[in-house]
Chain A
């Protein structure tokens, strides 16, 4: 993979911050966009813009074809058996809320929903709400000291049992980078008759994905972390399951016949796509998938693995550096969260920004995980297909500078 040539397709990466070149290490937050994606969105608005499905003119047909074509691209990209299994939402959060509402509609008092302490708030709060509505009980996997899912503890407390109805788990942690054994957990869930939901927001952008292989019932992810635009997320669901679920949002497009007393509904995927969908965004996502597929997800994964291995070695050698999450690049994504002794992440972020290095500081929408690990917040560097070893060096240098700036004991 020729990273230098690849970077030329991302105009934003040539920006500078004062005298420093931009070092963008915040891709777990949102990825940058290649020219192909930017152009596809512009071309849609310039030449083909119309509403989909209901506009019966030439432009309407073009827009509909491009929109449904994007759905088919997503289906192929993640190994779905048919395009109708792909639901477009506004983001991964909405996809998870859809799951918690429609799948969660069958929850009753005494039922249990299982999540983990390493979830993003978007895979915690919707299930808290579903449990509050239904009287079901929310339970969760703990993590081990090195940031892996604590499977032994889960087994000893019979976390997944005959009362479990839904297990919802992140595939790759947005903080720790940990890649969870979701296929194994899905088997455990199915063995007790529970449904398996996977938050794949930090996985699909970085590795080849086959929804059949992970054995989940529902998978959620978002376009903007995989070179696509903001404003569109994806929910994949097994078709028969989707067809059996009640709708989530009501409105145009999701109906069959509307009477004043009651309505009948369209079949999936339209059942779950009320209102005008994110059309240009779907087309942008389709272009992003073409772009990623053109490079090859296996090559992207191998590149990120090498970068992660390099970064872990380089960063953990810094005096005063504390890593959150696995220290070895095994079953691990490229997000690296850490703290620098005596410096708050907000200050780390500020000093790094002044040297052109863009990272994220805070609790990364995972406050329970930070609390569990005894950290109030952390700083996170996250790489993607365009990240170079030189950028990791710039990060390491800037971190040493930051440490010395705030903590005179190191100066």
Chain B
């Protein structure tokens, strides 16, 4: 298996310079997700404003795949609706679990299309999903809080 298929330039670029990194206030929900097999850890905050995902901020330590995936995810979801974010999550999950059969829609996924190759490396799928699972969890928690 050619690792260059896994480590696309886009992924390495985001790994070296993460977008929206750092924890910021205000926020409605904060979650902590880990990948116990390799020790990746992610603290992620979501702030909802007027029905949109106003901010996603995070502090993370982990491999290039998990870091780049989280960075690209924030680019894609900040300023969109929570519903759109959850839809993207579900589509991304489906692509990741497809063992390379599916490719993400370029218009909707932009830089995240670079992760199509990750789906061929089953051990790394969890890394690519870490940030997406965290943002989904945080949005649900923020929504529960809003309804109270």
Contact = CB atoms under 8 A, between A and B. Distances in A.
Contacts, number: 44
Contact of B7 (A367, A370, A405): A405
B134 interface: no
A405 B8 CA distance: 12
B127 interface: yes
Contacts of A370: 39
Contacts of A376: 39, 41, 61-62
Interface string B17-59: 0000000000000000000011111000000000000000000
B70 to A, nearest CB: 13
Given A344-B63, A346-B63, A354 B2 contact: yes
B3 A346 contact: no
A347 B63 contact: yes
B129 interface: no
A362 B38 contact: yes
A49 to B, nearest CB: 35
A168 to B, nearest CB: 23
Nearest to A342: B16
B74 to A, nearest CB: 19
Interface string A341-370: 000111100110010000001110001001
Interface residues of B, number: 21
B21 to A, nearest CB: 15
A377 interface: yes
A344 B2 CA distance: 19
Interface string B112-126: 000000000100100
A406 interface: yes
A222 B38 CA distance: 23
| Interface size classification for chain A | 10 to 19
A40 B63 CA distance: 42
Contacts of B121: 350
Contacts of B103: none
Given A362-B38, A376-B39, A405-B7, A346 B1 contact: no
Interface string B121-147: 100100100000000000000000000
B127 A346 contact: yes
Chain A interface, DSSP helix/strand/loop, else mixed: helix
A367 B3 contact: no
Nearest to A345: B38
A344 B62 contact: yes
Contact of B6 (A18, A350, A367, A377): A350
A350 B38 contact: no
A367 B40 CA distance: 12
B33 to A, nearest CB: 15
A346 B68 CA distance: 14
Contacts of A363: 39
A367 B41 CA distance: 12
B1 to A, nearest CB: 7
A354 B5 CA distance: 11
Nearest to B124: A350
Nearest to A378: B39
Nearest to A360: B38
Interface string A131-145: 000000000000000
Contacts of B3: 350-351, 354
Contacts of B102: none
B6 A346 contact: no
Q: Which interface residue of A346, A351, A367, A406 has the most chain B CB atoms within 10 A?
A: A346
Interface of A: 18, 344-347, 350-351, 354, 361-363, 367, 370, 376-377, 405-406
29 contacts: A18-B1, A344-B62, A344-B67, A345-B63, A346-B40, A346-B62, A346-B63, A347-B7, A347-B64, A347-B65, A350-B3, A350-B6, A350-B121, A351-B3, A354-B1, A354-B2, A362-B37, A362-B39, A363-B39, A367-B39, A370-B39, A376-B41, A376-B61, A376-B62, A377-B38, A377-B39, A405-B7, A406-B12, A406-B15
**Nearest 7 A/B pairs, CB to CB:** A346-B63, A377-B39, A344-B63, A354-B3, A363-B39, A346-B38, A362-B38
Interface of B: 1-3, 6-7, 12, 15, 37-41, 61-65, 67, 121, 124, 127
Given A346-B124, A346-B127, A351-B3, 18 more contacts: A344-B64, A345-B39, A345-B63, A346-B40, A346-B62, A346-B63, A346-B65, A347-B63, A350-B3, A354-B2, A361-B38, A362-B37, A363-B39, A370-B39, A376-B61, A377-B38, A405-B7, A406-B12
